Each structure stands twice: as structure tokens, then as C-alpha cells.
Chains A and B, each alone.
Chain A
Amino acid sequence: MTQLPDGRFVDDAPYDPDAALQELERKDLDAPNWVLIWRKFKTHKLGLISGAFLLICYLLLPVVGFIAPYGPNQRMSEHLYSPPQSINFFHEGEFLGPFIYPMTSEADLETFQWVFEPDYNTPLKLDFFCEAKGYNIAGLIPSNTHLFCAPEGATVFLWGSDRLGRDIFSRILYGAQLSLTVGLIGISVSFVLGIFFGSVAGYFGGRIDWVINRVIEVLRSLPELPLWLALSAAVPSNWSPVAVFFIISVILGILDWPGLARSVRAKFLSLREEEYVRAAEMMGASSGRVIRKHLIPNFMSHLIASATLSIPAMILGETALSFLGLGLRAPAVSWGVMLNDAQNLASIEIYPWTAIPMLPIVVIVLAFNFLGDGLRDSLDPYQQ
């Protein structure tokens, strides 16, 4: 700083008036959108962890047969309602490696219940990469190698067994295959319908908009649960489990699209006012082109976030239907079907582990909510 005779202060650092033109103003933003979104998403720790967790879950779906020690419908008729067994490492102060104590069952003649007692004298080591019940990897490649299985003469029920003597842990893993994909199929149906009706309503406005809005309102005013019930009751009972599963996810999707269509419409209305859209229209771009090139890319990210947030609703929907016995039916395995067994208050009281399938539902739904939340926060990376 120099002071002039009249009391003014002047900065003496060199100054180049033309420097600004070629220079990027926001160097930190000089990257494609997905990089910017990723950078911001990385700072949302909870969302990041949830995303990684869900990714692992979905990657494991094709190979659950390898992790599960038993098949989904494999019965151990000697071990009905067996309590959870723990895997131990030390036997009487001595390191043995992973082993279990076999269960001994005995009928209590006063209560007429089976009483299970672990036999603490004979530790039996777990087998690894052993051969047991056959399964198909990704439903295609037959295999019978398992990560671990029970030693001869014992069982390994990590989370207990149910009323038919099936391993709950294995069934939860197999159930994930259906329970997790029902959301994906449902959301794709709802996505397509929602984008189509929402963008038609938002872009063309007027009478079409009015009609679509009223349809959405009518759909939203229908009570959800009875409608599900009615629709799934209409599914013929002689269909195969896979067909039932598919139709259930489509039903969930058909009932979910109004919410998505509304947010698409709102986004369309606001994007239509953006000047780049008006510029494209004035250049002579057709409506299809404007929607495809300008509108959809600009709100796709919002849609993905809102879709992520509505997958939990689908998972819960499937669970609710199956719990009531109107969704998937045995022999298909899903978390809802498993909870169907836990409907009886008395059985939960005596065999609390039959309610364990609630646990993965809570965890997955939470993870989707965190992930969706994180995505939503990081979608507009260039607005500061």
C-alpha cells in the first residue's frame, strides 16, 4: 500500500486487466457432473457406508447358496424350533479353531416341548469348503460347495431353526434374493410409468395435465393395503412362485408411480422456465428432443434419488403382503414369508428367534434411506 499526497491508499501489487477472460472462475468445478456428485457424496459418510453395504448385499445375491450352510427348504426333522447356536473358538481354555457344541434334544413330558441343551463335552469343528446340499450359482451353474457346514452328527443353526426344522440363517440369505429384487423390479415399473405420465403432464400442460393429475389423485386416494390385497387375491393360486413374485412386484410398481409422476411433473414445470430450454425451443428443437436432451438429463439425478427413497416402501410392501399370506407363497422364500411364521404371539414368546427376519428388513430399509438422503444432498454439486 502506498499513500498518495491527498490521503488515498493505493495497492501496489501488479494488476493485469485482461487476465480474467481465459481463466476459469471456478477451477474446483471444472469436471464432469458425475465427478462433482461423487466428490460431494464422499463427504456424506453415512450414505457412503450404506451405499457400500447395499452394493455388497446385491453382489452377494447370486452366491448366497455358497454362504448358506443349508438349502432354503432343507428340513432337519429332529431339530424343530432349535435355538441359535454360537460358534466358539476356545474349549476349556484351549484354542481349537471355530467349532460348535452339538445340541441334544429331549422331550419335556410336562410341557410337551422339546428342550435343547448344548453338549459342552464334545466340541465339533466346523467343516470349510465342504460339500453339502446342491444349489445353483445365479440360478444357472450347479454347485454343491459351501463356505462352511455342520460337522457329522451336529447342526449349525446360527439363528435357530423354525417350526419345520429349517435353518433360519440360510433362509434369510435365500429370502434376500426375492426381498431385495422385488424393490428393483417394482421401482423400474414405477419409474417408467412415472417418467412417462409426469413428463407428458409437465411438458404439454393444459387438458392432458388436468386429466393425469386427477388420475393421480384418484389412485392416491385408494386405501393402499386393501387394494394390494384385492390385486394379489386376483393372482391365480396355481401360478408358479416365480410368476407370483413377478406379478407382485409389478403390482407394487403400478401403485407407486403417482408419487414419482408428481415429482417429475413439478421438476418439468420448473425446468421448462430455464433459459436453455427456451433457447432450444427457439432454435426449432422438437418437443421430443427437448425432453430427451435437456429435461431428462437434468432431472434424472433427482429421480434416482427419489427412486432410492421409495425402494424401502416396496420392500416393506412385499413384506406386508407376504406376512398377511397374500404375497409370495411357500415354497418361495422371502423375509415376509418367514415372518408369516412369526404371526403367532405364543410362538414368538417361546421361540423369539423366529422373528429374526425383521432384522435384515430394518437394516436394508435404513441403508436405502441413508443412501437416498446422501444422493439427494449431493445432486446439485455446482450450486455451491
Chain B
Amino acid sequence: MAPLLSVKNLSIGFGKDDAVVRDVSFDVAAGETLALVGESGSGKTITCRAALRILPKAAQIRSGSIHLQRADGPVDLVTLGERQMRDLRGNQVAMIFQEPMRSLSPLHRIGNQVCEVLWLHGRKSEAEAKKEVLSCFERVGFPDPERTYSSYPFELSGGMRQRAMIAMAMVAKPKLLIADEPTTALDVTTQAQVLGLMKELQRDTGMAMILVTHDLGVVANMAEKVVVMNKGRVMESGAAEPLLSDPAHPYTRALIQAAPQIPAAATPKPAPPREDLILEMTGVSKTYSMRAGKGWKAPSLIYACRGIDLRLPRGKTLAIVGESGSGKTTAARIALGAEPPDPGGAVLFRPRPDAEPIQVHNMDRAARTAFQRDAQMVFQDPYSSLSPRMRIQDTMTEPLEIHGIGNRAERRERAGEMLNLVGLGQDMLKRYPHAFSGGQRQRLSIARALMLDPSLIVCDEPTSALDVSVQEQILRLLENIRDQHQLSYLFISHDLAVVARIADEVAVMRRGLVVEQASPETLFHNPQHPYTKALIAAQPEPDIHRPINLKLVAQGAGSPENWPEQFRFSGIEAPPLVPLEPGHKVRCHV
């Protein structure tokens, strides 16, 4: 039987430049899932956009064909007329985009946006369309379809919006669904649930799916066939099972190795004695008051983080893990003195082992300057953390200039040394940041943080904007530097597997509270809290024999009011954080 979609020798280029997609071929059969895997810039998105002919204006399809099997025989999507193409889009081939926050129009009700597909293809009366959409909403897991139908996108969370997008794509019952990184912008637990939903829908409707992703873990959970792309070329393609368990191409091997993995369970180590603490946070809370929309109402309080006690020993790494909005970044900002905690909380910082601890939030000018030398930060977004108008050299020497250290030549020499330390060449000093890739920029920003020879570095999701293979290199670099320079890290992340590798202790946060805290070995070997269990279970791994356990995820990631009795929150009341064993604390009623 002919495949549903067959791409042959496809080449796409922009303007007069070299082709960005070269000679790509693959087939998708009905009911099958094909994963297009690659890093950013590998041409995977362009390839699947070509199938719907929604390429950017400057791009042209240079050669090749894309055949779609229809009831009346195959049609070539490359040469099909624009009017016929419109009939196909949404009807036969549907697409889900990456950003759930931006792919729904904020001015229209969700129901109307989803119904539009049915109206456009002129198949339904209004009442019928609504009925169909409501049943589709129920199918994708909205608890109250009627309410969702008449709500606006901003009333829904990211995961719910992505469900609405899926409903929009599914409602016309397409034969082929193209999902362009459908879960990249979502938290890991939400991702697991959305992936589970997509798989279930596919099983029920028998449609084919092209899944574009950079995460081999997602591939292992979803796909039967895999195409690995790099720089516009296919590196390896074939069935998922052999490809993932025995990769033939070195690039595939590198990708699989780079994927962060949950360590095999090891015996829990007792926590090391902690005497020499570099950073100590006791009873730190932060409450923001939001002015109510109506003037006569009292302002509502938002508890960004509550009662946080964290201790970071010198030369170690303490990781804070949580989904977006869990308060982890607020905790880090308080630790760096960028924001004051609520009264009662204190942050102590000991720059040297024998020095007197300083109160981070009660410093005079001189102490503050000294603190700013000793504590540095590495930011999340490599594209916005370097000023586009400054040469790398000026960016690198800026911290020294602010603190008035050294003369020009010395500063420049130090900048060169630091570049070498992070694995970059000295010739980059004269350049501007826009020529560099994300990974190179992140290295530059690490080098800048090291310029003042600090003792504490706060890393705010330093790898979440990077490709998997680059993430691996950056983590290795951070580890090396920590060991060479006796640095201590406060490492913020949403990815438990990343943290497992670099941290000595992990604190899992949910709704501003630490729910479980232990060494990574203990945490992975013996997780106690349902949320921790859900995080671990939701982690996609490039191992085809370890599917995501959706039940665990759904239970732990749900509302804290629905956790088992022992762990349950009621309103803002939560159980206390109690030590279960040495070095392992869980928030529960014992």
C-alpha cells in the first residue's frame, strides 16, 4: 500500500544562499508516527512546513516532491494550486504549533476558533459544528467543555491551550497531523500528559503524525519511525527501535549520549557533614501584594515562596527544581540580594571559610560591593544576556571596570584567559555577539561571570534555551569549572534529569514551598512525595522500553488539594517539612 505522505529528495533554500534542506526523503504510512529529530537550525521545521506550503516568503522549494495519498490518488503538494491547497489545509493535513501562548487569537473565544475549521471547509451547520467541537473538547480532556467553548485563550493555562490547539487540529479529522515541537514550551509534567493525549487520539482515529522535536526522550515515547537531521541533511532514518538502541551514525550516538538521563538507582549516600556553609537561607518568604482591580477591595497577596530553608556548602551544588511559577527564581533573586525577603527571613553569606558571615539584606555600601564581586549570576536566555552593541571584549571587561580592578592590558589579558577556560578562542574578543550560536553565547556569559573570580554562582536555568547536545557540553563545562575553582552553585532548573547530573542536593518546589529535599541519589531511588514521583515519571528518556507512567504523572502534577491525605495542602495551609531520614526531607504529615 502506498504511504500517506511521501517526501522525495526535497531541497529548500533561501534566496541565493545554499540550500538549508538538502535531499530529504521519508515516508509516513497511515496510522504511523514519524519523528523528525534535530537541533535548532537543522531544517526540520522548514521541512514539515513545506508539506503545508506555509514557508517564509524568501524560501523556495528547489527540487523534490511531496506526494499526499488521497482517496482519488496521490497529489503533489509542491505543484498543487493554491485553492486546492487551501482545501487540504486543516481538512486533510493539520498542524500544531510550538507556542501555545501565541497560536490562539486572544480576541476570539476558543470555541469559535476551533469551529472555524469546520465552517471554512463548509461541512457543518452551526449547531452541528458546535456539537462536534464540544465532543472533541471532551475527548482532549477539558473537564467542562461548555465553559471552555465560551472562554478566551488567556483564561487557560499553557497546557490547556495546547489541548485546545490539539482539538483545533483534530476536529476536522485530518489524515495527517504535523506537530511542530508541541510540548517544548510546556512543563515536564504537562508535556507528559499532552504526549499521552496525542498518542491516545492517534490510536482512536488512525491518523498519521509527523512529530518535530529535539528531544529523543519524546521520540522514544511516541514514534515508530525516526528521521535524524543535522544541518539540513538526513543523518539517519529508519525504525525507532533499532535506531535508538543501536545508533549507526555518530551524530545520532552523540545525541543519545547527550540526552539527560535519570541515574540508575544507587544506594543513598548519607548527607555530608555541613559545617562550611557559603550560603544559608533561613525562613525566607516573599509575598507580593497585587492591587485589586476594584479600588475598595483589599490587595490580594501572592505567596511567591514561603518558609525556605536552604544551606549551600562550599564547593557544592544546590539545585532548586520546579515548574514555572513555583517560586524558584524568586528564591534565587533573594539569595543574590536583588530583592528583600519578607521580615523574619535572613540570608547569610560567608565569602571565605573563616570570614564572618554577612547579612545579604543588611549591607553597607562597601560590603555590597564586595558581595557583588563574590556572587555572580548566569542567565537563562543566551540571546539577551550579552549586549548587542558591545564587543565581546568590552562585555567581558565590564565587571572589572565597574569594580576598578587592573588596567586595560591586565583586564584584556584576563578576558582572554577566561575565554580559553570556557573553550573559546581569544580571537573572539574583537567580535560582536550576534555572530555566535546559543551555546557559544552561554559560554561567554559563563566566562563573564568568572571574570571577578567569584565564590558563588547562581545559574538560572542556564541550559533550558539550548539544544540537548549543547546542554550536555555546558553542563560538563560548569562541572569542570566548579571543581577547578572551588565554586559553589545555586542551580535553578525545571528539568530533574539535568539537575541529577550536576547537583549535590536537590530541593523540589511547588507553589512556593519546598516539597522534598534530598541528595539526587536519594531522590531518584526513594522519592516520597507524589510531585517528585510525577516529575521523575514524566521525564522522557531515549529508552524505548521505559514509557512514561501517565497515572503517576497525573496524580502528582495535579492540584495539591488532590494529593494523598498525607501530603495534601488545604488552601495555603501545607504540611510541615519533616526529615524522613538523614538528609531527606519531605513535606508531609507523618
Interface residues of A, Cβ cutoff 8 Å to B: 1, 4, 6-11, 13, 15, 17, 20-22, 24-27, 29-33, 36, 274-276, 278-280, 282-285, 289, 293-294, 297-298, 382
Among A15, A24, A33, A297, contact of B249 (Cβ-Cβ < 8 Å)? A15
Residue of A nearest to B229 (CB): A11
In the bound complex, CA of A294 to CA of B452 (Å):
20
The yes or no answer to B163 lying at the interface (CB within 8 A) is no
Among A11, A17, A31, A276, contact of B254 (Cβ-Cβ < 8 Å)? A17
Asked if A10 and B236 sit within 8 Å, CB to CB, the answer is yes
A20 → B minimal CB distance (Å)? 7
The yes or no answer to B342 lying at the interface (CB within 8 A) is no
Asked if B403 and A284 sit within 8 Å, CB to CB, the answer is yes
The yes or no answer to B304 lying at the interface (CB within 8 A) is no
Q: Which residues of A contact B448 (CB under 8 A)?
A: 279
Asked if A9 and B437 sit within 8 Å, CB to CB, the answer is no
Asked if A15 and B435 sit within 8 Å, CB to CB, the answer is no
Among A6, A21, A284, A294, contact of B423 (Cβ-Cβ < 8 Å)? A21
Residue of B nearest to A289 (CB): B402
Q: Which residues of B contact A30 (CB under 8 A)?
A: 431-432, 435
CB contacts under 8 Å to A, within B207-261, are 230, 233-239, 242-243, 248-251, 254
The yes or no answer to B368 lying at the interface (CB within 8 A) is yes
In the bound complex, CA of A33 to CA of B390 (Å):
9
Among B368, B381, B473, contact of A284 (Cβ-Cβ < 8 Å)? B368
Among A26, A275, A284, contact of B434 (Cβ-Cβ < 8 Å)? A26
Q: Which residues of B contact A20 (CB under 8 A)?
A: 437, 439
Among B233, B243, B423, contact of A13 (Cβ-Cβ < 8 Å)? B233
In the bound complex, CA of A280 to CA of B387 (Å):
10
In the bound complex, CA of A9 to CA of B242 (Å):
12
Interface code B51-83, partner A: CB below 8 Å = 1, 0 otherwise? 000000000000000000000000000000000
Among A1, A17, A21, A285, contact of B402 (Cβ-Cβ < 8 Å)? A285
Asked if A11 and B236 sit within 8 Å, CB to CB, the answer is yes
Asked if B239 and A274 sit within 8 Å, CB to CB, the answer is no
B486 → A minimal CB distance (Å)? 21
Asked if B251 and A17 sit within 8 Å, CB to CB, the answer is yes
Q: Which residues of A contact B377 (CB under 8 A)?
A: 279, 282
Asked if A294 and B387 sit within 8 Å, CB to CB, the answer is yes
B529 → A minimal CB distance (Å)? 32
Interface centre among B230, B338, B440 (most CB of A within 10 A): B440
Asked if B381 and A275 sit within 8 Å, CB to CB, the answer is yes
Asked if B236 and A297 sit within 8 Å, CB to CB, the answer is no
**CB contact under 8 A between A33 and B432, given known A11-B249, A21-B440, A275-B384:** yes
Interface centre among A29, A275, A285, A289 (most CB of B within 10 A): A275
Interface code B377-414, partner A: CB below 8 Å = 1, 0 otherwise? 10111001111111000010011001100000000000
Asked if B254 and A9 sit within 8 Å, CB to CB, the answer is no
Interface code B360-384, partner A: CB below 8 Å = 1, 0 otherwise? 0000000011001100110111001
Q: Which residues of A contact B436 (CB under 8 A)?
A: 24-26
Among A25, A275, A282, contact of B380 (Cβ-Cβ < 8 Å)? A275
In the bound complex, CA of A294 to CA of B235 (Å):
42
Q: Which residues of A contact B248 (CB under 8 A)?
A: 4, 8, 10
The yes or no answer to B425 lying at the interface (CB within 8 A) is yes
Residue of B nearest to A380 (CB): B388
| 26 A-B pairs (CB sep. < 8 Å) | A6-B239, A8-B248, A9-B234, A10-B249, A11-B235, A11-B249, A15-B235, A17-B250, A21-B439, A24-B435, A25-B435, A26-B435, A29-B434, A29-B435, A30-B435, A33-B388, A36-B434, A274-B387, A276-B384, A276-B395, A278-B379, A279-B379, A282-B338, A282-B377, A294-B390, A382-B388
Asked if B249 and A293 sit within 8 Å, CB to CB, the answer is no
Asked if B384 and A7 sit within 8 Å, CB to CB, the answer is no
Q: Which residues of B contact A280 (CB under 8 A)?
A: 398, 402
The yes or no answer to B336 lying at the interface (CB within 8 A) is yes
B225 → A minimal CB distance (Å)? 10
A242 → B minimal CB distance (Å)? 39
Q: Which residues of A contact B376 (CB under 8 A)?
A: 282-283
The interface residues of chain B, by DSSP majority, are classed as: mixed
Asked if B387 and A276 sit within 8 Å, CB to CB, the answer is yes
Asked if A284 and B234 sit within 8 Å, CB to CB, the answer is no
Asked if A7 and B238 sit within 8 Å, CB to CB, the answer is yes
In the bound complex, CA of A31 to CA of B234 (Å):
32
**CB contact under 8 A between A274 and B338, given known A17-B250, A22-B424, A279-B448:** no
Q: Which residues of B contact A9 (CB under 8 A)?
A: 234, 236-238
B565 → A minimal CB distance (Å)? 43
Among A25, A32, A276, contact of B440 (Cβ-Cβ < 8 Å)? A25
Asked if B386 and A276 sit within 8 Å, CB to CB, the answer is yes
A86 → B minimal CB distance (Å)? 48
CB contacts under 8 Å to A, within B131-171, are none
Residue of A nearest to B378 (CB): A279
Asked if A297 and B238 sit within 8 Å, CB to CB, the answer is no
A238 → B minimal CB distance (Å)? 49
Among B238, B368, B431, contact of A6 (Cβ-Cβ < 8 Å)? B238
CB contacts under 8 Å to A, within B235-290, are 235-239, 242-243, 248-251, 254
B19 → A minimal CB distance (Å)? 15
Q: Which residues of B contact A32 (CB under 8 A)?
A: 432
Q: Which residues of B contact A24 (CB under 8 A)?
A: 431, 435-436
In the bound complex, CA of A4 to CA of B237 (Å):
10
**CB contact under 8 A between A15 and B251, given known A20-B437, A25-B436, A282-B336:** yes
In the bound complex, CA of A298 to CA of B395 (Å):
14
In the bound complex, CA of A32 to CA of B393 (Å):
13
Interface centre among A6, A20, A22, A283 (most CB of B within 10 A): A283
In the bound complex, CA of A278 to CA of B236 (Å):
43
In the bound complex, CA of A17 to CA of B381 (Å):
24
Asked if A297 and B389 sit within 8 Å, CB to CB, the answer is yes
In the bound complex, CA of A246 to CA of B389 (Å):
35
Among A8, A25, A36, A294, contact of B237 (Cβ-Cβ < 8 Å)? A8
B492 → A minimal CB distance (Å)? 14
**CB contact under 8 A between A6 and B242, given known A22-B424, A284-B372, A289-B402:** yes
Q: Which residues of A contact B424 (CB under 8 A)?
A: 21-22
**CB contact under 8 A between A283 and B381, given known A22-B425, A276-B386:** no
Q: Which residues of B contact A15 (CB under 8 A)?
A: 230, 235, 249-251
Asked if B384 and A274 sit within 8 Å, CB to CB, the answer is yes
**CB contact under 8 A between A8 and B236, given known A282-B372, A298-B389:** yes
B476 → A minimal CB distance (Å)? 12
In the bound complex, CA of A21 to CA of B428 (Å):
12
